[in-house]
Structure 1
Amino acid sequence: MQNSKSPIATPTLKRRLICMVYEAFLLTAVEALAIFVYLFATQNQHTASIDHGRNAVFFLTAAAYFIHAWTGSGHTLAMKTWRIKVVKLGYARVPLRTAAIRYLMAWGWFLPAIVVCYAFGLTSYGQVGAALAVGIFAWATTALLDKDGQFLHDRVAGTRMILLPKPVKQTKK
C-alpha cells in the first residue's frame, strides 16, 4: 500500500507479518540470555518479588532491543533483512521518546490477549494460542483500516514503516 502523496512505499502487511515471525526468533535468543543472567543472579529462586523482577527483565530487555534499534539505524536485524525501516517524518532518526511510545503501543499486539487469559483463567496452550491469534489478527487489521497502511502503534507514535529499495547488485569485472 502506498500513500498517493508520497513516493515512499509502505511494506505489505504480509511482508511485515513475516518479518515479525523472524523477529520473534531473534528476540527469543536475546530474551533467553537476559533471563539466564537474571536466574543466575537470583540463584533461580522463586518468590513473588523475584518472579515480578523476571517479568520486568523480560519487558525491559525487549524495550532496550527495539528502542535501541529504532533510534539508531531505524531497523532491527529482521527488519533489515526484509528491507523495512521505521522513520519519523522530519527527523533523521526516530527520537527516543517516539521510539518508547511506539514500543509501549506495540504491546497492543499481545496485551489484550494477556489480560483476557488472566481474567478468564485461560492457561492451556490452545486457549492462550487462540487468544493471541485473535489479538494479533485484530491488531493487524488496524493496518487495513489506516489510509497509509500503518499499524495503530505507528499512527499513535507518529512513525511509519517504509520499504527500502532493493540493493543494487554489483557486477564483477
Structure 2
Amino acid sequence: MPSLHPRASSSPADLQPPLTAAGTPGIWRRMACWLYEGLLLFAVVFVAGWLFSTLGQMRDAMDTRRPLFQAFLFVVFGIYFTVFWSRGQTLAMKTWKLRLVDRQGRTPSQGRALVRYLLSWVWFLPPLAAIHALPFKVSGGEVTVLLTGWVLVWALLARFHPQQQFWHDVWAGTRIVDATSLPR
C-alpha cells in the first residue's frame, strides 16, 4: 500500500503540483519589474559596499581593489538572486505578481536559480565587452545609450519565443509566469 506521507528526502519544490496553464505576463510588465528590481538592488549595493569598504579600509572608489569589489558585488548579487529565485520570487516579483518556475511549473532549485543568474548577465556583458573592445574612448552618455539599446533589443527578442520568454530563461530551463494564474 502506498504511503500517504512524502518521502523524507523530498524537497518543498517536489511537493508542489505541476503548473498546467499559467499565463505569461507581458514584456512591459516584466521590464517594469526588472527596473523596480534595480531600485531595490541599490540597497543591496549600499550595504555590500559599506561592508566591503569598511572591512577593506578603502579610502575612495578609485582604490586599487576596485576589481575585487566588483567581484564581491557579483557574488552578493548571485546570492541574492539565487536565494530569492529558489523560493520563486524576489521582492520586486512579489510586487508585480510574477513568479519564477522551472519547466515543470515548480519552484526552481538553487542550482537552476544559479544557472539563471549566470545566464542573465547576457543583458549586460555583450555591450560592455564591445565597449571595452572599441579602439576609442566613449563617454558615459554613449555607454548609457549602448547599454539601453542592447537591453531593449534583448527584451524585444522575447517576442520571437513561442511563449514570449526571455532567452536566458529558456536556456536556464525557467520561465516567468503570472503569479495570479497559479493555483493556490
TM-score by length of 1: 0.85
Determine if contact 1:10/1:148 at 8 Å carries over to the other structure. Answer: yes
> Is the aligned partner of 1:103 residue 2:117?
yes
Q: Equivalent residue for 2:55?
A: 41
Q: Structure 2 matches for 1:8-157, cutoff 5 A? A: 8-45=22-59, 46-47=63-64, 50-72=65-87, 74-90=88-104, 92-120=106-134, 121-157=136-172
More displaced stretch, 157-166 vs 77-86: 157-166
What is the root-mean-square deviation of aligned Cα atoms in Å? Answer: 1.6
- Structure 1 stretches lacking a partner, 5+ long: 1-5, 167-173
Cα deviation 1:47-92 (Å, max 9, x = unaligned): 2xx22210111111111111100112x1101000000000013364
CA separation in 2, counterparts of 1:40 and 1:125?
Answer: 28
In the TM superposition, residue 142 of structure 1 has moved relative to its aligned partner by: 2.3
Aligned residues: 158
Larger radius of gyration: 2
| Higher share in helix | 1
CA separation in 2, counterparts of 1:143 and 1:60?
Answer: 27
CA separation in 1, counterparts of 2:122 and 2:180?
Answer: 29
Cα deviation 1:87-130 (Å, max 9, x = unaligned): 01336421122111111111111111211221125442211101
- Structure 2 stretches lacking a partner, 5+ long: 1-19
1:156 maps to a residue whose letter is W
Identity of aligned residues (%): 34
Gap change, CA 1:91 and 1:140, over 3 Å in 2: closer
CA separation in 1, counterparts of 2:85 and 2:165?
Answer: 16
SS in 2 for 1:108: helix
SS in 1 for 2:180: coil
